[in-house]
Amino acid sequence: MKQEFKGNLLSPLPIVLVGALVNNRPNYLVIGYICPFDFGKYIFFSLYKKRYTRIGIHENKTFSVNIPSEALLTETNLCGSKSGRNFDKASLFENFFGELKTAPMIRQCPINLECEVTEVLDYDPNEGIIGKVIKSYVDQECLTQGKLDMRKVHPLIWATGGDFNYYQLGKRIAQEESKEDTATT
> Under a CB-based contact definition with an 8 Å cutoff, are residues 110 and 150 in contact?
no
pLDDT band (50, 70, 90) for residue 10: confident
Mean pLDDT of the chain: 91
**Cα 76 to the center of its chain, rounded Å:** 11
More confident residue, 173 or 107: 107
Q: What is the mean pLDDT of residues 136-159?
A: 94
Residue 113 has pLDDT above 80, yes or no: yes
pLDDT category of residue 13 using cuts at 50, 70 and 90: confident
The residue-averaged pLDDT of 48-59 equals 96
Q: Are 109 and 56 in contact (CB under 8 A)?
A: no
pLDDT tens string 58-109:
999 999 999 999 999 999 999 999 999 999 999 999 999 999 999 999 999 9
Is the CA virtual torsion 42, 47, 49, 52 positive or negative?
negative
Domains and CATH numbers, the chain: 13-183 (2.30.110.10)
Which of 25, 34, 17 shows the shortest CA–CA distance to 72?
A: 17
Check if the beta carbon of residue 36 is closer than 8 Å to that of residue 14: no
**pTM (two decimals):** 0.90
| Dist. CA 49–CA 52, nearest whole Å | 8
